[in-house]
Structure 1
Amino acid sequence: MSNPNVCSLSPAEIDCSGPWLLCPENPAETLIPSLKEHGQLVPVLAVKESGKTLLIAGRSRVAAASKLGLDVLVRYIEAADDTAKAVLHLEENCTRSVDESLKLATMRFFSARMDSAELAETAAPLMSLKPKSRDMKFWLDWMELTPEYDEFLRLGHIPLAAVSVLIKLDAADRKELIRFFEKLSWSRSNAVNFLTWLYETSRREKKSIADLISANSFEPAGQKESPKDAVGRFCKAAKELRYPQLSELEGTHNRIVSELCAGTKWQVLPVGNFETGEVMIQTRFKNREMMSKAIADLESIVDSSGWDGLFELGRDK
């Protein structure tokens, strides 16, 4: 029995430009072999408005049929408005991987059409999130930002969790920080720590972030500096601003240890940020020969006066 809601149309008769088509289009070429051999097995979804056929889901099928000069099977459905069209589009594409780029496009689309409470209830299930989850809170906060950071999120240069600090900054400070994310990709912990240390120092010193980063070691990454090294340098500089005494102690500790353990594989680490006056020493080995060498190295460094310097760091703090 034929379905009155399904018809056959030329690809040119189908409008595939709707803003609700949030999922990226798959290459049409991936569907061409199947269309040639089996024909179109599943109709695309569309709505009819003002005499036009507006696509809801199936852009790749339309594009592939167009390349082959074939008509497209279209199934008409009901959708009251653009929001309903977007919901149907995303539900039809529910088997796709939902990456940060798609989540961002989804949130921007719905945030322009509803308040935050409705946004959480509507968008969260479409992005495989719980409405009251921490990640959903991050997304709602991100919608409070102007879109200047959106591209960095799409590219993976900045993690979503960074919004927990960005949302606290004014527009001028956020603008000053853009250069740190234009060409570098930051891990979640590095980005959140870097921004938090700058924000907290700004509050303590009653200075803008622009003033802080202009007066300290935040020069742009050089051509010979790796992205990882640049991120490490920026984090180190921000931490030194936030914890100047601790950074000074760490610097002294590292200098003593580098001399103390030179030529060995032993590592000496402070315990409790120097608050205990204790250190921990460790190494690794995987056979008796390496173990014997490690023990001999330890015996050779145990009488060094450098140890007294390490212990004094804790007592002086």
Structure 2
Amino acid sequence: MSNPNVYSLSPADIDCSGPWLLHPESPVEKLIPSLKKHGQLVPVLAVEDSGKKLLVAGRARVAAAEKLGMDVLVRYIDAADDISKAVLHLEENGARAADEFLKLVTMRFFSARMDAADLPKTVAPLLGLKPKSRDMKFWLDWMELEPEFDELLGLGHIPLAAVSVLSKLDETDRAALVRFFEKLSWSRSNAVNFLTWLYETSRRENKSIADLVSVPAFESAGESESPKDAVSRFCKAAKELRYPRLSELEKTHNKIVSEVCAGTKWRVEPVGNFETGEVLIQTRFKNREMMDKAMADLESISKFSGWEELFELGRDK
């Protein structure tokens, strides 16, 4: 049972180093004006253990009081083990948003101390997740990955959803993929597509991903290549491996279109990955002058013989 009494302690007497303090330290500057004007309105939470005062929640208040040379108001609670302390710490900080980094360190903390089967019920509510949600499953799968992926996730270089593919790979193949995320930040769709195409190609051709990405198309980005261009290049190379016939059709299509539509703002795209034999042609304009120019361009490009070749691409598939 918690002790309802509040005690006054020196900040130096409170141990704020517990591993259950999962939230990152908050800046104390915002608390200082309030402490000066009103004093400490809410006591921090702590437990007594072998004569030590172990903080459970309120690290910023302790730091601010120490900076001002003030004592800290403390209320003692019952929390016999690290798991109980962490639960109380997260509940007391429930108003703070749980970002990806907090979810990561929280999952690592609890997964090291609990059976995986008990994690959803205990941890999900503390992080604002539903126990049976897709994100919770992603976090459970992430706990099986190597530590280097934690760093990449914390940096925002790889999305959590990438685990849907990474969890299917062996350790050697995952290790071969780390370099693609070390210096580049990937969107969810790009990362999942890139990994999925490599995984499916690996299965189809009975080759390791380490072998697939050893070719020049997957060389690391150079200094002159922008991060966006590097990600596009890697995705394109992975897609070409997965869909070689489709990639050849796209190359042919783009070559013809570049000739047919040269000097105009018209765009021509295949419909249904060339399966229908149809194309979509479109442009934009915002005034009469631009519209007249577009219509004149359309009449001109309609006379090019390249259209017949475009229509045949779909039929030849």
**CA positional deviation for 1:80:** 2.3
Structure 1 unmatched runs, 5+: none
Q: Which amino acid aligns with 1:233?
A: R
Secondary structure (helix, strand or coil) at the match of 2:29 reads helix
Q: Paired residue for 1:53? A: 53
Q: Paired residue for 2:142? A: 142
Q: Paired residue for 1:130? A: 130
Q: Paired residue for 2:273? A: 273
Secondary structure (helix, strand or coil) at the match of 2:54 reads strand
| Residues in 2 aligned to 1:115 and 1:190: alpha-carbon distance in whole angstroms | 33
Q: TM-score, normalised by structure 2?
A: 0.98
Q: TM-score, normalised by structure 1?
A: 0.98
**CA positional deviation for 1:4:** 5.4
Q: Which amino acid aligns with 1:19?
A: P
Q: Paired residue for 2:260? A: 260
Q: Which amino acid aligns with 2:58?
A: G
**CA positional deviation for 1:101:** 0.1
Secondary structure (helix, strand or coil) at the match of 1:217 reads helix
Q: Which amino acid aligns with 1:119?
A: L
| Residues in 1 aligned to 2:258 and 2:115: alpha-carbon distance in whole angstroms | 57
Q: Which amino acid aligns with 2:119?
A: L
Q: Paired residue for 1:209? A: 209
Secondary structure (helix, strand or coil) at the match of 1:225 reads coil
Secondary structure (helix, strand or coil) at the match of 2:231 reads helix
Q: Paired residue for 1:304? A: 304
Structure 1 stretches of 4+ with a deviation exceeding 2 A read: none
| Residues in 1 aligned to 2:222 and 2:261: alpha-carbon distance in whole angstroms | 31
Q: Paired residue for 1:250? A: 250
Q: Paired residue for 2:151? A: 151
Q: Which amino acid aligns with 1:284?
A: R
| Residues in 1 aligned to 2:5 and 2:114: alpha-carbon distance in whole angstroms | 31
**CA positional deviation for 1:286:** 1.5
Q: Paired residue for 2:36? A: 36
| Residues in 2 aligned to 1:27 and 1:133: alpha-carbon distance in whole angstroms | 33
**CA positional deviation for 1:100:** 0.2
In the alignment, is residue 87 of structure 1 matched against residue 110 of structure 2? no
Question: Could you tell me whether the CA contact under 8 Å between 1:274 and 1:314 is conserved in 2?
Answer: yes
Question: Could you tell me whether the CA contact under 8 Å between 1:5 and 1:77 is conserved in 2?
Answer: no
Q: Paired residue for 2:235? A: 235
Q: Paired residue for 1:218? A: 218
| Residues in 2 aligned to 1:96 and 1:260: alpha-carbon distance in whole angstroms | 56
Deviation string, structure 1 residues 258-299 (Cα, Å, up to 9, x no partner): 111111111100011101111111111122221111111100
Q: Which amino acid aligns with 1:125?
A: P
Question: Could you tell me whether the CA contact under 8 Å between 1:216 and 1:237 is conserved in 2?
Answer: no
Structure 2 unmatched runs, 5+: none
% identical aligned pairs: 80
Q: Paired residue for 1:14? A: 14
Q: Which amino acid aligns with 1:150?
A: D
Deviates more, 1:34-43 or 1:161-170: 34-43
Q: Paired residue for 1:187? A: 187
Q: How many residues align?
A: 315
| Residues in 1 aligned to 2:118 and 2:216: alpha-carbon distance in whole angstroms | 44
Q: Which amino acid aligns with 2:228?
A: K
| Residues in 1 aligned to 2:130 and 2:34: alpha-carbon distance in whole angstroms | 37
Secondary structure (helix, strand or coil) at the match of 2:268 reads strand
Q: Paired residue for 1:113? A: 113
Q: Which amino acid aligns with 1:283?
A: T
| Residues in 1 aligned to 2:201 and 2:174: alpha-carbon distance in whole angstroms | 15
| Residues in 1 aligned to 2:264 and 2:250: alpha-carbon distance in whole angstroms | 20
Deviation string, structure 1 residues 107-130 (Cα, Å, up to 9, x no partner): 001111112221011111111110
| Residues in 2 aligned to 1:98 and 1:128: alpha-carbon distance in whole angstroms | 8
Deviates more, 1:240-249 or 1:284-293: 284-293
Q: Which amino acid aligns with 2:107?
A: M
Secondary structure (helix, strand or coil) at the match of 2:114 reads coil
| Residues in 2 aligned to 1:206 and 1:250: alpha-carbon distance in whole angstroms | 26
**CA positional deviation for 1:144:** 1.4
Secondary structure (helix, strand or coil) at the match of 1:8 reads strand
